[in-house]
Structure 1
Amino acid sequence: MDRLVKPDVKEVEMNFKSGQKCSAVFRLTNLMHTMTVAVSLTTTNPSVFSFPQPFSILPPLSSATYTLLSQPSDHPPLRSPHDVITVRSAMLPTGKAHMEDFRRLFSVPGRHVFRDATIPVSFVGPQVVEFLISHNAKVPDVNSSLHKAISGCSESQLAELMNLAVRSENADLVSAMVDSGADVKHRDSDGRSLLASALDSGNFDIFKILIASGCEIDNSIDRVLHEAAAKNRVDLIEILCKSRSRIDVNSVDSINRTAIHVAAARGHVEALKFLLSIGANADLADDRGWTPLHYSSSAGHRDAVETLLEHCNAKYAVDGEGKTAFSLAAENGHAELLPLLRLNDALHRASRLDDVGGVKSCLAEGAAVDGRDQNGWTPLHRAAFKGSVECARVLLGHGAPVDAVDDAGYTPLHCAVEAGHAAVAMLLIAHGARAKAKSLTGMVPLSSDRLKNHPALVARSICREKVRP
C-alpha cells in the first residue's frame, strides 16, 4: 500500500462569487485498519487558498471533512496549470500529536511518509463562465476552464450565458458551450433565437454551429433575414435558407417589410439578387404602400433599381400617398433614375403622339434617345411609324441610332415605308439609313428613286407582314 488516505473527490470545485470568500468541502478517509494517520494539507497558491485546520488526525478507517477557503476577489483567480491541494500523510503510532509534532513530522520526508495525494481545484459557476467569455483572450487554457466552470451553472443560467457567448464572436467558446449542454433553442426575453443574436456579430462559424446544433427560426418573431439583408451578408442568408429552419423568404417585420425591402433600401444588390433568386416577391408593399422599388428609387440606388425592374411587375405601383417610384426619385433629386423608371416611356409616348415639345422635354430631362420598349422599338421607330417628321428630326439630332433593329428585324426606315410615310423615310435616308434591308422575309431592296416616285407602292411591297403599332 503506497497511500494512507483516500480523498472522496477527484477535483474540488469552488462556486465563485465576486467579492466574497468562497469555500468548498471534501472528505479524506484513513485506509489503515489499525493505525492512526496524521494529515497535512497545503495548496500551490497559499496567497489565495487556506485551510482552517491544515493538520489533522484520522483514526483507523475513519473519515473527516475538510474545508478549503479562498480569499475574496473581484474575478476568479484562474491559473494554468490549475491550483492543486497536496495531501501528505504519515502514520502516527502514538495516536496523538501537537502542532509542533505535526510541523516536525511533515518538515522532512521520512520512512513513515507515504505517497502524497493531489486534488485539483477549479472555480465554477455563472460568474466564472461570464468572466471566461468576456476575457477569453487573456485566460490561459480557456476551454478547459470553461468546461469545468459550466458544471456549476443551472440550466437557466447556462441559457443566458449562451447568449453572451454567441455575442462574443468566439466560435470555440460557443462550441464549448454547446458541448457542455447549453440549450441552443433558448430564446431571450423578447422571444428571439440565438441566431438573431449571432447576427449582431455576423460570425459565420457561429451561425454554422448553431444551425448544426438544432437552433431554429420563428418567422413570426425572428428577423434574421432582414438583419442579414441589412448587412448584405449573402453567405448568412444562404446558410439560413439551406438549413432545416424552414425560413420564409417573404416573412415581414412589424411594418410589413420583407428582407428584400431592406436590401433595396440600402442598395445591397448582392443580397437583393440572391433573395430574388430564391423566391422573394419584388412586388409586395409594406404598411405605407412602398414596394422594394419605392425604397431603392427614393434612396437613389441605381443598380438596385435596375435589378428590381427585371423582376417586378408593379413598376408604376402607387403608395399610400399616390406616389410611384418615379415620383420618389424625382422628389429626391435622383435624375439619373428617371429614364429607367418613366422618362423612356414618356419619350416613346411623345414620339408616338407627334408631341415635339414632349420629345424635347424628355430628352432635356435625361431620357435615353435609344431606349427600347418591350418589343425592341426605339422612339425613332415610333416616330417613323406614325409619320412624325419633326419628332424624328429632333430624335436624330440627339443621336438616335438611325438603323436600330427591333426584335423582329425592323429598322425605323422599314416602319416609315410600311406605314407609307415617305417624308420620314426620306429624312431617315438623308441621315444615313440603309435603303437596302434584308433582315425580314419578303423584303426587297429599297432605293431612293423608288421611295421618291412610288412611296405607297414600296410600302405595300416591302413587307407583307403586319407591323405592330
Structure 2
Amino acid sequence: MAELYLAISQRRPELVQLLLKFEPDVEGQSRSGSSPLEAAAASGKALIVELLLTRRASTEQSESSTWGPIHLAAGVGHMEVLRLLLQKGANVDALTKYGNTALHLAVEERRRACARLLLASGATADVRNSGDGDTPLHIAASLGDEHMVRLLLLKEPTKISETGLENLLTMLQPSIDIDAKDEDGYTALHRAAESGQAEVTELLVKKGADAEARTNKGVTPLQIAESLHYVGITRILIQGGATKEHMILIPAPAPLPFGNKTQEAENGGGLKKKQPTRARGLRRSSFDRSVPLVVL
C-alpha cells in the first residue's frame, strides 16, 4: 500500500495504473487513516481519481479521516475531481468530522466554482453545521463574500438569474431560509453586521432578511452594529426596517486589540466578539497541508 500512496502523492497516474494491476486494496488506509481516494482527491489529479473509481473505490469518508473525498476536492478547489466524485454518486451533503458539508468548505475557502457545482448537484444550501449550527450563508456573510451570498440566495424563487446554470438552480432548488439561526440564535444578518460587512448587510436586507431578528439573548443586528460603532451598517439596518424598540441594554464592548473586527461574541450581559467560523477547525492551511498529511 505504501507504494500506491507514494504514487498518488507524486501525482503519477502511470505508476498508479501499474500498481493497480497487482490488485491492491483500494480501501486500505494509510498511517494517517485516509483512503487512497481521499489522498487522490487532495492531490487534485483527476486521472488518478478516475483510475481508483474504476476499481470501485468508495466515495464515502473513511472512518479515521477528518474529510471525505468530496470535502477535500471542494475545499481545495479541484473542480474536475469534484465533478467525477459527484458523477459516481458521492453524497453531496455528507458531513466531515467537524459537521460540515462540502458546500460549507467551498464557501469557507471561497471556491465559488465548486460551490456552484455543488448547488447544481443538489447540495442543501441552508444545511446547518452539526456542531455550531452555521449554514453556508452564515459563513459567506461573515467573510463578506457578496458573490457567494448572491449564489446561495439564487435558490430564492423570486431571484432572476443571468446565466443558464443560475436559471437551472432557481427552477430546481427549494428556497433558502435567509433567517436560519446558528446555535446562538445568530442569523446571517447578525454575522454580516458584527463582521462590519456593509455590502453584504445591504444585500441581505434587500433580499428580505429579518432586520429585527434576535439572538438567543435578545440581541438584534442593529444592536450589534451600534455597539461596534458601524455607522454605515446601522444606517442600512434602520433603512431596512430595524427599530430600537424593546432593545435590551448592554454595555459597550471593550476595545479590541490590534483593531481586530472579526471575533465578536455575546457573553454574559454584554457583547463580545463571537468566535469566527474558522475556530471550528476549518482553516485554509488545513487544506494546504492535505496532501502530505493524507499520504504519509
Whether these two folds match at TM > 0.5 is: yes
Inter-partner Cα distance in structure 2 for 1:284 and 1:346? 17
Q: Which residue of 1 aligns with 2:42?
A: 200
Q: Which residue of 1 aligns with 2:181?
A: 318
| Rg comparison, structure with higher value | 1
Aligned residues: 199
Q: CA deviation at 1:185?
A: 3.1
- What is the aligned counterpart of 2:24 among 149, 166, 182? 182
Q: Which residue of 2 aligns with 1:172?
A: 14
* Structure 1 residues 2-41: aligned runs within 5 Å: none
Inter-partner Cα distance in structure 1 for 2:86 and 2:176? 25
Helix, strand or coil for the counterpart of 2:93? Answer: coil
- Report if the CA contact (8 A) 1:220-1:251 is conserved: no
Helix, strand or coil for the counterpart of 2:90? Answer: coil
Q: CA deviation at 1:184?
A: 2.5
- Report if the CA contact (8 A) 2:13-2:47 is conserved: yes
Q: Which residue of 1 aligns with 2:197?
A: 334
Q: CA deviation at 1:254?
A: 1.7
Q: Which residue of 2 aligns with 1:216?
A: 58
Q: Which residue of 2 aligns with 1:301?
A: 145
Structure 2 CA distance for partners of 1:255 and 1:199, relative to 1, 3 Å: same
Helix, strand or coil for the counterpart of 1:200? Answer: helix
* Structure 1 residues 125-204: aligned runs within 5 Å: 159-204=1-46
Helix, strand or coil for the counterpart of 2:42? Answer: helix
| Equivalent residue letter for 1:331 | E
Helix, strand or coil for the counterpart of 2:134? Answer: coil
Q: CA deviation at 1:302?
A: 0.9
Q: Which residue of 1 aligns with 2:74?
A: 229
Unaligned runs of 5+ in 1: 1-158, 350-360, 372-378, 380-469
Structure 2 CA distance for partners of 1:346 and 1:220, relative to 1, 3 Å: closer
CA offsets per residue over residues 428-465 of structure 1, 9 Å max, x none? xxxxxxxxxxxxxxxxxxxxxxxxxxxxxxxxxxxxxx
The alignment's C-alpha RMSD in Å is: 2.9
Single out whichever of 305-314 and 212-221 deviates more from structure 2. Answer: 212-221
- Report if the CA contact (8 A) 2:179-2:209 is conserved: no
CA offsets per residue over residues 257-306 of structure 1, 9 Å max, x none? 11111111122221111111111111211110100100111111111100
Q: Percent identity?
A: 28
Inter-partner Cα distance in structure 1 for 2:17 and 2:23? 10
Matched, 1:252 2:115: no
Matched, 1:264 2:107: yes
Q: CA deviation at 1:321?
A: 1.6
Inter-partner Cα distance in structure 2 for 1:347 and 1:241? 35
- Report if the CA contact (8 A) 1:217-1:247 is conserved: yes
| Equivalent residue letter for 1:202 | G
TM-score (normalised: structure 2): 0.60
- Report if the CA contact (8 A) 2:198-2:232 is conserved: no
Inter-partner Cα distance in structure 2 for 1:215 and 1:295? 32
- Report if the CA contact (8 A) 2:178-2:209 is conserved: no
| Equivalent residue letter for 2:29 | R
CA offsets per residue over residues 224-277 of structure 1, 9 Å max, x none? 11111112222111101212xx42111101221111111111222211111111
Inter-partner Cα distance in structure 1 for 2:100 and 2:207? 29
Inter-partner Cα distance in structure 1 for 2:125 and 2:233? 29
- Report if the CA contact (8 A) 2:26-2:36 is conserved: yes
- Report if the CA contact (8 A) 2:35-2:62 is conserved: no
Inter-partner Cα distance in structure 1 for 2:35 and 2:74? 17
Q: Which residue of 1 aligns with 2:133?
A: 289
Inter-partner Cα distance in structure 2 for 1:193 and 1:187? 5
Q: Which residue of 2 aligns with 1:274?
A: 117
| Equivalent residue letter for 1:241 | L
Unaligned runs of 5+ in 2: 156-174, 213-230, 242-296
Inter-partner Cα distance in structure 2 for 1:259 and 1:336? 26
* Structure 1 residues 389-428: aligned runs within 5 Å: none
Inter-partner Cα distance in structure 2 for 1:337 and 1:273? 19
Structure 2 CA distance for partners of 1:326 and 1:183, relative to 1, 3 Å: same
Structure 2 CA distance for partners of 1:364 and 1:331, relative to 1, 3 Å: closer
| Equivalent residue letter for 1:335 | A
